[in-house]
């Protein structure tokens, strides 16, 4: 289990998902909006079947890993990130991330993805891939925090994406934040912000 802090100061725990988390996963799924469910499963999914719950929670933590973010006080699951290793290429895995609607846009999905990428690296996986809705900009932006994303149109409004996992997904994020802190301390933050926005002025 790892204690983490979001940018808004919220303190959470990230730990591997366990088989006994079936009830919690089902409850968390029920709290997702129809749009969040569709983005995750790419089809209308009103409920998770017993078979789906078994598949999603009974993981081996090697070829199939799943990490859950938990709110310490309530013990509620707030988000899950998982990978499933490719049978054709052992160094590639398909990924998925889902975050409770009221915890979206707070950096939790990106944090979960980085921890998942670190676990994937530990298990010899160097590339993640996924099928996402073409309109799902949040997931694509989340991936871009890790590196250059390759994509191709997969039809039916979906896009297939690939990303080479950096060698140190968590350290890279810490280094990026440290760079911003140094820029702030030296009065260069405004310039860095303009560069990040692509603003050539200043």
How many domains, in total, are found in the chain? 1
Say yes or no to pLDDT of 177 above 80. no
Mean pLDDT, residues 42-70: 93
Q: Which residue has the higher pLDDT, 14 or 132?
A: 14
Within-domain flag for 197: no
* Average pLDDT in the chain: 84
Chain segment 3-13, per-residue pLDDT in tens: 999 888 899 99
| Residue 124, domain CATH | 3.40.630.30
In this prediction the pTM is: 0.80
**pLDDT bucket at 174, cuts 50 / 70 / 90:** very low
Torsion angle, alpha carbons of 44, 55, 167, 3, to 10: 90
Within-domain flag for 24: yes
Q: Which residue has the higher pLDDT, 194 or 105?
A: 105
Within-domain flag for 63: yes
Chain segment 13-38, per-residue pLDDT in tens: 999 999 999 999 999 888 889 988 88
CA distances from 7 to 35, 154, 172, 177 (A): 25, 34, 16, 11
């Amino acid at each position: 289990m790892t204690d983490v802090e979001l940018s808004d100061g919220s303190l959470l725990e990230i730990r591997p998902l366990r088989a006994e988390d079936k009830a919690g996963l089902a409850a968390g799924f029920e709290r997702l909006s129809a749009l969040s469910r569709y983005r995750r499963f790419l089809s209308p999914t009103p409920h998770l079947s017993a078979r789906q719950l078994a598949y999603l929670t009974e993981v081996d933590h090697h070829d199939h890993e799943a990490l859950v973010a938990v709110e310490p006080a309530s013990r509620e699951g707030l988000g899950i990130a998982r990978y499933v290793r490719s049978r054709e290429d052992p160094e590639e895995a398909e990924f998925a991330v889902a975050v409770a609607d009221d915890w979206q846009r707070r950096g939790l999905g990106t944090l979960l993805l980085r921890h998942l990428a670190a676990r994937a690296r530990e298990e010899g996986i160097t590339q993640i891939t996924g099928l996402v809705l073409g309109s799902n900009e949040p997931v694509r932006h989340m991936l871009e925090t890790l590196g250059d994303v390759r994509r191709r149109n997969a039809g039916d409004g979906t896009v297939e994406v690939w990303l080479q996992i950096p060698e140190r997904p968590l350290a890279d994020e810490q280094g990026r934040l440290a760079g911003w802190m140094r820029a702030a301390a030296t009065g260069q933050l405004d310039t860095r912000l303009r560069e990040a926005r692509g603003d050539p002025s200043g």
